Amino acid sequence: MPATVFTIGHSNHPQERFLALLQQHAISALCDVRSNPYSRMNPQFNRKELKGYLRPHNIKYVFLGKELGARSEDPSCYDRGKISYERLAQTNLFQQGLDRIQEGMRTHRVAIMCAEKEPLDCHRTVLVTRHLAARGLDVHHILADGTIETHSDALRRLANDLKLRANELHLFCSQEDLFTEAYRLQEQRIAYEPEEADPDTIAALKSAAN
């Protein structure tokens, strides 16, 4: 049986509810993949507060936003000023982040956390767990109501939401091809683009990527 890694979005849950979701699925280590581990709207999920809240409940908190965050500081990960998941996934830093998750799974039941309630709207699904699944791991998404959605079921739901059909893409299109197209289209929708950054930063990213 392949090893299982979980994902979860903190959304606007009260701390008690979020803890209950983790405990429901016996999570013992939480890997935070937010690039910026802070929330103005939900300060209970700021890095320091969350780590301190989980500690008495024997849940380890690990910040992996540098390795697995969606807002890379590496200009080579941008294409015309917008993050490219393909480029980001090829970096040594990203691969090291995946290695750390797999290493942690040897001794803990691991959940990958980001902010979004809906897993399909988050890079934890479209980027991070895509590559963990490619390594042979079983991925389960913890939904807001506590139920589990497998990664393959999530991808089928995404393809359906995007109105993708295998026979419409190509007569001999496989399910893998369908999922690849679903990933591509969803990346276009959610990938980080620093529109609010200062003009010099945007210009530098575009210049480095071209």
- Closest among 144, 154, 166 to 24, alpha carbons compared: 144
In this predicted structure, the answer to whether residue 165 has a pLDDT above a threshold of 50 is yes
User: Domain span at residue 111?
Assistant: 4-209
Q: Which residues does residue 78 pair with via DSSP β-bridges, in sequence order? A: 83
Q: What is the mean pLDDT of residues 94-123?
A: 98
Q: What pTM does this model have?
A: 0.87
25-78, pLDDT tens digit by residue?
A: 999 999 999 999 999 999 999 999 999 999 999 999 999 999 999 999 999 999
Tokens in use for 171? 């007569």
At residue 210, the pLDDT reads 45
At 76, list the tokens: 């080579």
What radius of gyration do the chain's Cα atoms show? 17
Q: Domain total for the chain?
A: 1
Q: How would you classify the pairing of strands 110-114 and 29-32? A: parallel
More confident residue, 163 or 200: 163
Q: What DSSP element (H or E) covers 189?
A: helix 175-190
Share in percent of the chain as helix, strand, coil (round to 5) = 50, 15, 35
Report whether pLDDT(200) > 50: no
Query: Distance (Å, rounded) from C-alpha 174 to C-alpha 167?
Result: 9
Residue 168: the pLDDT is 52
Q: Fill in the amino acid letter for 90.
A: Q
Q: What is the pLDDT of residue 69?
A: 97
